[in-house]
Structure 1
Amino acid sequence: MAKVYDAIIIGSGPAGYTAAIYAARANLSVLVFQGYQVGGQLMLTSEVENYPGFEEGILGPTLMEKMEQQARRFGAEMLPEDVTAVDFSRRPFVITSDSGSYLARAVIIATGASAKWLGLPSEQRLQGRGVSACATCDGFFFRGKEVAVVGGGDTAMEEALFLTRYASHVTVIHRRDTLRASKIMQERAFKNPKISFIWNSEVIEVLGEDAVTGLRLRNVKTGEEQTLTVEGLFLAIGHQPNTSLFRGLLQMDEAGYIIPVEHTMTNIPGVFAAGDVTDHRYRQAVTAAGDGCRAAIDLERWLESQAHEEALRQEALTSGEHSNQ
């Protein structure tokens, strides 16, 4: 007989690991599918300074390693593989990866979201060395420096305004000649003396060897190129929740974020969601971890209620048999 885990957790970011810590500590049998890229988005972040408890800051990969070790300490099993298929149509649920199929009484989806990137080799090479997709995570490191933000929506304006607290100047680069951001966000950005705009332009190369020194831009209308000297590049062209595997199974919004129906439970009883798969607003390590805690507690209580219902069913069957004799 194949082992049936009490909880299978898909994802190894702060939400997945926190859920694993809570579930394993509650004496549940737990298996975490870490994915081939273990540790989530924090693996791309050099220094994390706003996670409570680390007053000197901590490296993103180190923080994730600590969370993993803590989950292992309570008995959570780890599998560094991607999930390739799920079957939520029957119980126990079936979760499939490259190494086989695994059974679970309940599941927590914590597959996170991925920042959308420009897709340039130079951008990839300098990630964490001046290229970032999170101003609230990394803005502090650009005190007194000139930076650029790519994007034209509300997120881009929020990032640009936030960065003015630290940077000496922020240049917003947008492919069009008008912003998509709401009127109020546009007004705030236009009024801020530390923000300027380069219109109808795209980044075609990030310059620098070990750190960002500038950007090569191309005007999309004229084809004209120019170099912009900056020490930081922030991408604000959106995030993509990693939920394609669950499309058609779970209730989602248009962008693909999972919509929980009761607390952290999805529209399928016994399947829970935590972290950036449900959160397009905050997207912080600490909020994801809080979500993982909530999902694990919800899962534990749901399993208890299932066991209680099963006991009542058995009791009713037994008393029915006795009355028939």
Structure 2
Amino acid sequence: MKKEKILDLVVIGAGPAGLTAGIYSSRAKLNFIILENELVGGQIRETPSIDNFPGFASISGAELADKMQEHAEASGAVIDEFDNILSVKFANEEKIIETNNVIYKPKSVIIATGAKSKPLPVPEEKKLRGRGIHYCELCDGAMYDGKDIVVVGGGNSAVDAAIFLTKYAKTLTVVHRSEKLRAEAKSQEELLKHDNVKLMFNTQIEHVDGENSIENIVLKDSKSGKKTNLKADAIFVYIGTTPKTELFKDYLDLTTFGHIKTNENLETNIRGVFAAGDVREKEIRQLTTAVNDGSIAALMAEKYIRNS
């Protein structure tokens, strides 16, 4: 028989939004827990360098994630990294979160589960994932020291990853489906300082040949339809993210793309359930907006708990 815990609040996710919510919830002296079944810190932990977070001219994502975790825990937040969530049941009257070991019955919930990388849309992706197709330059970049590397994408994540990978790459080719990069101008300038970098616009990867490693990449020009071959040893993919909302789809209103719909107070369609960070519907998704969401969600959850 699993033990039941009655809490004021459960925060699901320990990325920047969830950790910020934890800091504010601690200050409000709420009885709460943060549940996280992946890396504490979320996506920022995989970012080589962060240059746009106030107070830090430059800091690695891993270091910033550690500082956020330390701050949250020093404030009194409890983070459980090892008890996976099996199911949730949300209603206006009751919220139930069942993990491997515990059944939580909180008055309020903050969902800050973030997003995961979209896979490279080729038939060979599953076969070659981890064998040439990768999604984390910090984790896997060193494997390709002196090799030919391809980066797919044109946003900040792709360009920042490409900059990091230049230290290993013999040649580095950025493949982007549009006519120009979307990354910040400063990052683009930094990337183009490297002589071993080549940009390919209006181009998509159609196939990746190979059984246990990449032998050939088939590219397609999106304007002319012409196909070409590219020899490379690795592909690092940064083509966007998908929100982690599978657990909540039966209870919460989602957008076509799977993001949680909220109002300006980050309330969902269920009273007492809030969403913060990249998991929710919004125009801008940045580290600073995730932290902003976390603080708002915690303050609104505290108000809801006090009045319920």
Could you tell me which runs of 5 or more consecutive residues in structure 2 were left unpaired when the two chains were aligned: 142-148, 167-171
Q: How does 1:255-294 map to 2 (within 5 A)?
A: 255-261=257-263, 263-279=265-281, 281-294=283-296
Which residue in the other structure is 1:148 paired with?
A: 174
2:156 and 2:118 map into 1 onto residues whose CA distance is 17
Tell me the SS of whatever aligns to 1:260: coil
Structure 2 counterpart of 1:245: 247
1:217 is the counterpart of 2:241: no
Deviation at 1:198, TM superposition (A): 3.7
Match of 1:74 in 2: 75
Which 10-residue stretch deviates more, 111-120 or 14-23? 111-120
Give yes or no for contact 1:113–1:277 (8 Å, CA) kept in 2. yes
From 227, 230, 245, the equivalent of 2:231 is: 227
Q: Which residue of 2 aligns with 1:167?
A: 191
Q: Note the C-alpha offset of 1:125.
A: 7.4
Matched AA of 2:182: E
State the structure with more CA Rg.
1
Q: Does 1:136 align with 2:162?
A: no
Supply the distance in 2 between the matched residues of 1:125 and 1:100 (Cα, whole angstroms). Answer: 33
Query: Aligned-pair distance for 1:77?
Result: 1.3
For structure 1, which runs of at least 5 residues remain unmatched after alignment? Answer: 173-195, 207-213, 307-325
**TM-score, normalised with respect to structure 1:** 0.71
**Counterpart secondary structure, 1:272:** strand
Q: Is the 8 A contact 2:153 2:175 kept in 1?
A: no
Q: 1:139 to 1:262 in 2, by over 3 A?
A: closer
Q: Is the partner of 2:23 in helix, strand or coil?
A: helix
Deviation at 1:252, TM superposition (A): 0.8
1:293, 1:215 → 2: CA distance? 48
Say if 2:4 and 2:102, in contact at 8 Å, map to a contact too: no
Give 2:252's aligned amino acid: L
SS in 1 for 2:262: coil
Deviations 1:246-279 (A, max 9, x none): 0121011111100114520100000000000114
Which string of whole-angstrom CA distances, capped at 9 and with x for unpartnered residues, describes residues 184-206 of structure 1?
xxxxxxxxxxxx4446x436389
Aligned residues: 270
Q: Choose between structure 1 and 2: higher helix proportion.
A: 1
- Give the equivalent residue in structure 1 for 2:133: 123
**2: CA distance, partners of 1:46 / 1:132:** 17
CA RMSD in angstroms, aligned pairs only: 3.5
Residues 109 and 167 of structure 1: CA distance in aligned 2, closer, same or farther (over 3 Å): same
